[in-house]
C-alpha cells in the first residue's frame, strides 16, 4: 500500500514538472482569451463568433504572427449563463499573460463580467448587442463611472432602429406595430423604438411580446393587425424570425415586415423558408459585399474575408460573424501597435481611428467605445435565398 | 448511539472549520476561489433543500425562485432604496420565508408529481416577474452595482474575503441543519419521510411540519441568493431559471438524500465536475450527463453513502475471508 | 378585422398549440402509467423527432411519408434503448432517482444532438404547401394545422383502441393500476416498461415532426414543448388520457387567449398561474382520481 502511494506521488511530481517546464520556443506565443456562448441558449451565435475569431487569428499566424510571435487563443464557455461567464473569465485570467479578451456573446453575461473586467484591468472587446454595456455607469451613484476597459463591436441597437425608422418614413410608412422577444435583446429594442420612431415621424400603434421559444405568434400578430398598421418591426434573433414571417403570410397581413440587425444571417432562410421573401432589415455590409459600389472602402476587405470564411467553414458568414471578426481584428491591430501589454493595448484600442472593418468604419474614442455610426448600416431585403442591398 | 453520533459530528464540523480556515493558504488562484465560492453558495441551497427532500420527502423544482428572491430583495433594497446591507439580507430572508409560506401552504397538500409541477410553475412565474417588473428589478438587463457586504471597515470585495464570508455561512447553515435534525423536529421529519400516514397517526402534525421545513429551506436559499448578489454585484433573471432548480435537486440526489455531509459533497462534486469537464471542449455537456447517469445508476444512495457502502462491503467480505481462514 | 374574427383566430391558434401539448402529454402519461416516473427525456424525443425528419427530408431527400415513419421508429428505438440500458439497470427503483436519471439521459441526448446537428434552427417543408386556408368565422390557418389536428385525433383514436381492445394495452393498464399484482398474474412488467418507453418515444417524435414545419426545429426545441406538455398532463390529471387532451387544449387556449386579450408579456405567467389555481382547488388535476396512498 505504502509503495503504491509513493509511486503515485512520484508520477504526479514528474507530470507536474513536465507540464510546468517552460517550452523551449524562441518566442512565446501572445495569448488572448476568447469567451463565447458555446453551449446553452445562445450557442448558435456564440459558435459562429468563435469561428470568426479563429479565422482572424489563423490569418495573422499564417502571415508570421506579430513580430515573430504567434497568437494563441485561450477559450472559455459562458454556457449562456451569467455565473458561468464570470467563472470562465476568472479561469482565462489564470494565465497571467493573457493580454486581451474577445467576447462574450450575450448581453446578460457581458453585464455580469463587466465589473470584474474593470477591476482586473484587462481590455475586452465584446460582441454582445445591448447598448447597456457601454451606457450604464459602473456605480449607480456616480453617472460618470463609465467602463474604461470594455468595448463592443456590434453597432448600437439604437442606430439600427433609427435606420429602419428612417427608411420607413422615407417610404411613407407612418403607423407601425412592434413585436419583440421577451428577453434582454427584445426589451432593448422596445426602448429604442420608443425613442427613434418619433424622431422620424413614425407612430408605434401596437407593441406585443412573445417568448423566444414560442411555436406560434399568430395571436400577437392578430392583435397588431387589428390596429391597421402599415408596417411591422420584429425584434428577435432565433427561430421566431422565421415563425413571424410564416404567421404573417398565414394571416394574410399586407404590411411589410422589418426585422432586426441580427437577422441578416443564413439561419434566417433556414427558419423562414419561402415566407422570408421580401422581409427587410438593417445589416452590416458583410452579407451584400459583392453588391457594394466599387468606391466602398469596405468592399475588398469583406469579399476577401467572406472567401476565406467560406473556404474554411464551407458556409456563408452571417452578420454575427462580422462582429466577431471586427472585435478580433481591432484587438490584433492594437497588439501590433502597443505590444503585449494590457494597459497599452487598451489605449491603442481606444485610439482606433478610421479602422475599416466588416461591420463598418470604427472611430473609437474615450466617449464612444463602439465607434460605429448609422452611416455604417445598410438596409437589405431578403430575396430568393439571398440578400439585396436597398440603400 | 446518540452521543456517538454527536461525537462524529463534532469531529466533522471541527474538520470543516479547520479546512475552511487553512484552505486559502494553499490556494492562490482566483479561479479556484470562485469555484469554491460557488460551491459554498450551492451548498447552502442544497443543505436547505435536502431538509425538504431527504428528511421530509417532498420534492421542489422551484428553489431557483427562492434563491432569486434572496438576490433580488438584497439587490433592490440596497441599490434602489439605499437600505443598509445586513438588514436588507434579513428582510429578504423574512420576505422569502413569507412567500414560501403562502405558496407552500396550498402546494404541500399536493402529492408526488403534482407538487413537482406546482413548484416548477411557481418558479417560472417568479422568473417571468423578475424580467417584467423592470422599474424594480432592472428587467432582463439586470440589476447592477450591488454593493459588496461589509462588517465595519471590512469590505468583502474580493474572492478571498468572500470565501471566508460564504463558507462561514455554509458552516453556520450546516450547524443549524444538524441541530434541527437532532431535535424533536428532526425526528418528526424523518418519521414523515418514512411514512407520512404512520407519522400522522402517531400524532405528528405532518402538514404543519412540511410547510415549516419548506419555509426553512426557502430561507436557506434566500441567504445564499443574497450572498451571491453581493459577491457578483450583478444579477439578472437568467441566473434563476428552472435549470438552476434542477441543478440543485440533482446535487441533493448525487450527494445523497437525507445526508447532511452528502449535501456538501454533492454541491462540491457537481460544481467541480461541470467546470473540470470543460477540458472536453464542446463535449462537456455529454460528459456531465454521462457522469450523472453513472452515479444515479450505480450509486443511487448518493456518492457519500455509496462509496462508504462499497468500502464496508469489501471490509465485511475481507473479514469473512479472514474468519474463514482462521 | 373585427373582434369576433380576432377571437376566432385566437381559438384556432389555441387549439393547434393545444393539440401538440396533448400529444406530448400523452407521452408523459404512458411512461408514468408503466413506471410511476416523470420522464424528462420526453423533451429530447420531441427534438430528435424533428431533427430526424429534417435530416431525412431536407438532407437525404427521402419521401415525406417514409421519413415520417423512419423518424418515429428511430426515436422509438432510442426510447427502448434508454429503458433497456440505464433505467432497467438502475440499482434503485426509487421514483425521484429515476426521474433525475431521465434528466441525466436527456443531457446526454441533447449534447449528442448538438454535436450531430449543430445549434442552428432549421426548417422542414410543410406536408402539403403553405397556402392559407380561410375558415368560417374569419380565422386563417395553413394546411399543416389540419395535418396537426388530423394526426392528433388519429393518434388519440389509436391509443383508445389500443388500451381498450388489445391484450398489450390491457396489460399496460393493469400494470398502471398495480405493478405487483400485474406481475403476479403473469404480465411481464419489464416488457411493458420497455414497450411504454418505445411508445412514448414514438409519440414524442410525432409531436416534433408535425410541429417542425410551423415552428422550425433544433437540438433543444423540445425543452419548452416538453415542459408545457408536462404541465398539460398534470393539469388534466397525471396518467389520465382524456385529461391529457383536455389539459393540452386548455393550456393552448389559455396561452393564445391570454396573449390576445390580456397581455402578451405575461401570457406564460397567466397560464402557469391558472394551472396553480386549478391544482390548489383540485389537487389531482381536472380529471385525475388521485393516487392511492401506499402505506
Over residues C53-86, the pLDDT tens digits come to 999 999 999 999 999 999 999 999 999 999 999 9
Residues from chain B contacting residue A77 (CB–CB below 8 Å): 278, 284
Q: What stretches of C166-216 show up as alpha helix (H) in DSSP?
A: 167-177, 179-184, 189-215
Chain C residue with Cα closest to A212: C224
Average pLDDT over residues A1-12: 50
Q: What is the CATH number of domain A157-283?
A: 3.40.50.2300
Q: Does domain A30-155+311-373 correspond to CATH entry 3.40.640.10?
A: no
C-alpha cell at C283: 389537487
Give me the domains of chain B, ranges plus CATH numbers.
2-325 (1.10.3470)
- pLDDT at position B323 is 66
Q: Which residue has the higher pLDDT, A22 or A79?
A: A79
Q: Where are the domains of chain A?
A: 30-155+311-373, 157-283
Nearest chain B CA: its distance from C13 CA (Å): 23
CA distance A259 to A265: 12
Average pLDDT over residues A141-161: 89
Task: Output the average pLDDT for chain C.
Answer: 92
Residues from chain A contacting residue C268 (CB–CB below 8 Å): 211
Per-residue pLDDT tens over the stretch B176-185: 999 998 888 8
**ipTM rounded to 2 decimals:** 0.91
Helix (H/G/I), strand (E/B), else coil: C22: helix
Q: Does C265 touch chain A (CB under 8 A)?
A: yes
Chain A residue with Cα closest to C258: A219
Residues from chain B contacting residue A82 (CB–CB below 8 Å): 142, 232, 234-236, 238-239
Per-residue pLDDT tens over the stretch C222-235: 999 999 999 999 99
Q: Which fold has domain C3-281?
A: ABC transporter involved in vitamin B12 uptake, BtuC (1.10.3470)
Chain B contact probe: residue of C35, C84, C93, C104 with most B CBs at under 10 A = C104
Per-residue pLDDT tens over the stretch C197-208: 999 999 999 999
Contact C127, C143 (CB under 8 A): yes
Nearest chain C CA: its distance from A252 CA (Å): 8
- pLDDT at position A25 is 46
- pLDDT at position A7 is 52
In which band, very low, low, confident or very high, does the pLDDT at B326 lie, cut at 50, 70 and 90? low
DSSP β-ladder status, A231-235 and A257-259: parallel
Q: What stretches of A63-137 show up as alpha helix (H) in DSSP?
A: 82-92, 107-120, 132-135
In which band, very low, low, confident or very high, does the pLDDT at A132 lie, cut at 50, 70 and 90? confident
Q: Do C234 and B253 touch (CB under 8 A)?
A: no
How many CA atoms within 13 Å lie on the side-chain side of A48?
Answer: 22
Q: Do B238 and A93 touch (CB under 8 A)?
A: no
Q: Where are the domains of chain C?
A: 3-281
Chain A contact probe: residue of B68, B72, B278 with most A CBs at under 10 A = B278
Average pLDDT over residues A225-244: 92
Q: Taking 70 as the threshold, does the pLDDT of residue C291 lie above it?
A: no
Chains A & C: contacts with CB separation below 8 Å: 111
Q: Taking 50 as the threshold, does the pLDDT of residue B67 lie above it?
A: yes
Q: What are phi and psi of C124, to 5 degrees?
A: -125, 135
**Contacting residues for C47 by C-beta, under 8 A, at least 6 apart:** C110, C113, C208, C217, C218, C219, C220, C221, C222, C223
C38 closest CB neighbour out of B113, B195, B290 = B113
- Portion of chain B with pLDDT greater than 70, in percent: 96
**Which residues are A232's β-sheet partners?**
A177, A257
Residues from chain C contacting residue B120 (CB–CB below 8 Å): 227
**Contacting residues for A135 by C-beta, under 8 A, at least 6 apart:** none
CA distance B99 to C111: 36
Q: Do B283 and C266 touch (CB under 8 A)?
A: no
CA distance A85 to A172: 45
- pLDDT at position B5 is 56
- pLDDT at position B184 is 86
Q: Do B140 and A132 touch (CB under 8 A)?
A: no
Chain B contact probe: residue of A183, A185, A211, A213 with most B CBs at under 10 A = A183
Chain C contact probe: residue of B53, B99, B113 with most C CBs at under 10 A = B113
The torsion of the CA quartet B246, B251, B253, B256, rounded to 10 degrees, works out to -160
Per-residue pLDDT tens over the stretch C158-206: 999 998 999 999 998 888 888 889 889 989 989 999 999 999 999 999 9
CA distance C295 to C286: 25
Amino acid at each position: 500500500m505504502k509503495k503504491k502511494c509513493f509511486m503515485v506521488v512520484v508520477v504526479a511530481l514528474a507530470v507536474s514538472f513536465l507540464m510546468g517546464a517552460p517550452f523551449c520556443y524562441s518566442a512565446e506565443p501572445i495569448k488572448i482569451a476568447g469567451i463565447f456562448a458555446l453551449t446553452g441558449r445562445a450557442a448558435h451565435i456564440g459558435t459562429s463568433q468563435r469561428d470568426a475569431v479563429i479565422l482572424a487569428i489563423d490569418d495573422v499566424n499564417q502571415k508570421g504572427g506579430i513580430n515573430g510571435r504567434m497568437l494563441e487563443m485561450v477559450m472559455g464557455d459562458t454556457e449562456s449563463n451569467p455565473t458561468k461567464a464570470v467563472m470562465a473569465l476568472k479561469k482565462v485570467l489564470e494565465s497571467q499573460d493573457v493580454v486581451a479578451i474577445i467576447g462574450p456573446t450575450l448581453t446578460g453575461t457581458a453585464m455580469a463580467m463587466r465589473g470584474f473586467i474593470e477591476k482586473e484591468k484587462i481590455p475586452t472587446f465584446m460582441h454582445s448587442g445591448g447598448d447597456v454595456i457601454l451606457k450604464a455607469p459602473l456605480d449607480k451613484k456616480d453617472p460618470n463611472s463609465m467602463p474604461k476597459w470594455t468595448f463592443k463591436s456590434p453597432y448600437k441597437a439604437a442606430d439600427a432602429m433609427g435606420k429602419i425608422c428612417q427608411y420607413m418614413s422615407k417610404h411613407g410608412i407612418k403607423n407601425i406595430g412592434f413585436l419583440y422577444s421577451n428577453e434582454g435583446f427584445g426589451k432593448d429594442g422596445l426602448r429604442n423604438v420608443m425613442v427613434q420612431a418619433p424622431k422620424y415621424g413614425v407612430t408605434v400603434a401596437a407593441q406585443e411580446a412573445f417568448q423566444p421559444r414560442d411555436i406560434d405568434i399568430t395571436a400577437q400578430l392578430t392583435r397588431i393587425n387589428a390596429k391597421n398598421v402599415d408596417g411591422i418591426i420584429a425584434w428577435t434573433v432565433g427561430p421566431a424570425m422565421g415563425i413571424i414571417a410564416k404567421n404573417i403570410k398565414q394571416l394574410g397581413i399586407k404590411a411589410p415586415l422589418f426585422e432586426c440587425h441580427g437577422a441578416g444571417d443564413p439561419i434566417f432562410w433556414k427558419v423562414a423558408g419561402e415566407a422570408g421573401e421580401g422581409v427587410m432589415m438593417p445589416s452590416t455590409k458583410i452579407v451584400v459585399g459583392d453588391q457594394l459600389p466599387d468606391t466602398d472602402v469596405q468592399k475588398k476587405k469583406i469579399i476577401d474575408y467572406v472567401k476565406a470564411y467560406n473556404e474554411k467553414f464551407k458556409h456563408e458568414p452571417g452578420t454575427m460573424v462580422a462582429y466577431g471578426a471586427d472585435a478580433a481584428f481591432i484587438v490584433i491591430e492594437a497588439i501590433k501597435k502597443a505590444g503585449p501589454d494590457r494597459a497599452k493595448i487598451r489605449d491603442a484600442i481606444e485610439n482606433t481611428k478610421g479602422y475599416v472593418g466588416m461591420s463598418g468604419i470604427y472611430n473609437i474614442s474615450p466617449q464612444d467605445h463602439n465607434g460605429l455610426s448609422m452611416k455604417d448600416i445598410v438596409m437589405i431585403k431578403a430575396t430568393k435565398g439571398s440578400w439585396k442591398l436597398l440603400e | 448511539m446518540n452521543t456517538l453520533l454527536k461525537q462524529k459530528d463534532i469531529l466533522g464540523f471541527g474538520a470543516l472549520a479547520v479546512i475552511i480556515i487553512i484552505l486559502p493558504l494553499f490556494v492562490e488562484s482566483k479561479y479556484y476561489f470562485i469555484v469554491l465560492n460557488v460551491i459554498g453558495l450551492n451548498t447552502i441551497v442544497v443543505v436547505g433543500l435536502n431538509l425538504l427532500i431527504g428528511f421530509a420527502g417532498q420534492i421542489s423544482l422551484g428553489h431557483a425562485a427562492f434563491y432569486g428572491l434572496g438576490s433580488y430583495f438584497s439587490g433592490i433594497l440596497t441599490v434602489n432604496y439605499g437600505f443598509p446591507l445586513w438588514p436588507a439580507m434579513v428582510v429578504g430572508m423574512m420576505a422569502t420565508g413569507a412567500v414560501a409560506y403562502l405558496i407552500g401552504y396550498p402546494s404541500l397538500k399536493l402529492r408526488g408529481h403534482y407538487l413537482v409541477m406546482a413548484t416548477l410553475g411557481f418558479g417560472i412565474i417568479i422568473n417571468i416577474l423578475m424580467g417584467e417588473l423592470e422599474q424594480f428589478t432592472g428587467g432582463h438587463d439586470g440589476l447592477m452595482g450591488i454593493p459588496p457586504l461589509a462588517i465595519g471597515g471590512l469590505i468583502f470585495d474580493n474572492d478571498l474575503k468572500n470565501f471566508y464570508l460564504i463558507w462561514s455561512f455554509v458552516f453556520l447553515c450546516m450547524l443549524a441543519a444538524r441541530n434541527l435534525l437532532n431535535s424533536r423536529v428532526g425526528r418528526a421529519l424523518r418519521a414523515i419521510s418514512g411514512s407520512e400516514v404512520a407519522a400522522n397517526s402517531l400524532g405528528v402534525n405532518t402538514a404543519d411540519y412540511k410547510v415549516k421545513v419548506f419555509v426553512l429551506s426557502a430561507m436557506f436559499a434566500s441567504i445564499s441568493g443574497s450572498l451571491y448578489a453581493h459577491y457578483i454585484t450583478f444579477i439578472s433573471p437568467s441566473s434563476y431559471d428552472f435549470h438552476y432548480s434542477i441543478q440543485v435537486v440533482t446535487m441533493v440526489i448525487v450527494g445523497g438524500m437525507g445526508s447532511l455531509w452528502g449535501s456538501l459533497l454533492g454541491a462540491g462534486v457537481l460544481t467541480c465536475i461541470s467546470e473540470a469537464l470543460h477540458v472536453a471542449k464542446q463535449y462537456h455537456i455529454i460528459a456531465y450527463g454521462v457522469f450523472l447517469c453513472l452515479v444515479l445508476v450505480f450509486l443511487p444512495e448518493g456518492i457519500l453513502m455509496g462509496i462508504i457502502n462499497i468500502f464496508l462491503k469489501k471490509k465485511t467480505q475481507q473479514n469473512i475471508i479472514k474468519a474463514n481462514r482462521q | 378585422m373585427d373582434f369576433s374574427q380576432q377571437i376566432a383566430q385566437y381559438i384556432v391558434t389555441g387549439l393547434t398549440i393545444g393539440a401538440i401539448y396533448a400529444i406530448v402529454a400523452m407521452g408523459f402519461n404512458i411512461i408514468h402509467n408503466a413506471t410511476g416516473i416523470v420522464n424528462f427525456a420526453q423533451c429530447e424525443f420531441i427534438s430528435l423527432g424533428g431533427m430526424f425528419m429534417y435530416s431525412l427530408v431536407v438532407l437525404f431527400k427521402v419521401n415525406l411519408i417514409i421519413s415520417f415513419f423512419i423518424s418515429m421508429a428511430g426515436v422509438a428505438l432510442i426510447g427502448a434503448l434508454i429503458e433497456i440500458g440505464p433505467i432497467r439497470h438502475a440499482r434503485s427503483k426509487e421514483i425521484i432517482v429515476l426521474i433525475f436519471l431521465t434528466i441525466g439521459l436527456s443531457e446526454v441526448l441533447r449534447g449528442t444532438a448538438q454535436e450531430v446537428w449543430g445549434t442552428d434552427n432549421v426548417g422542414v417543408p410543410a406536408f402539403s404547401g403553405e397556402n392559407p386556408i380561410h375558415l368560417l368565422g374569419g380565422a386563417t390557418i395553413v394546411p399543416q394545422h389540419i395535418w396537426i389536428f388530423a394526426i392528433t385525433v388519429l393518434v388519440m383514436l389509436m391509443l383508445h383502441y389500443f388500451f381498450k381492445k388489445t391484450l398489450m394495452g390491457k396489460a399496460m393498464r393493469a400494470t398502471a393500476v398495480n405493478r405487483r399484482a400485474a406481475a403476479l398474474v403473469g404480465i411481464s412488467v419489464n416488457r411493458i416498461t420497455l414497450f411504454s418507453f418505445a411508445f412514448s418515444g414514438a409519440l414524442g417524435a410525432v409531436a416534433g415532426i408535425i410541429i417542425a414545419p410551423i415552428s422550425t426545429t433544433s437540438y433543444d426545441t423540445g425543452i419548452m414543448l416538453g415542459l408545457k406538455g408536462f404541465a398539460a398532463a398534470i393539469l388534466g390529471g397525471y396518467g389520465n388520457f382524456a385529461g391529457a387532451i383536455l389539459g393540452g387544449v386548455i393550456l393552448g387556449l389559455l396561452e393564445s387567449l391570454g396573449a390576445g386579450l390580456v397581455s402578451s408579456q405575461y401570457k406564460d405567467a397567466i397560464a402557469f398561474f391558472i394551472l396553480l389555481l386549478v391544482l390548489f382547488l383540485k389537487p389531482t388535476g381536472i380529471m385525475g382520481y388521485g393516487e392511492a396512498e401506499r402505506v
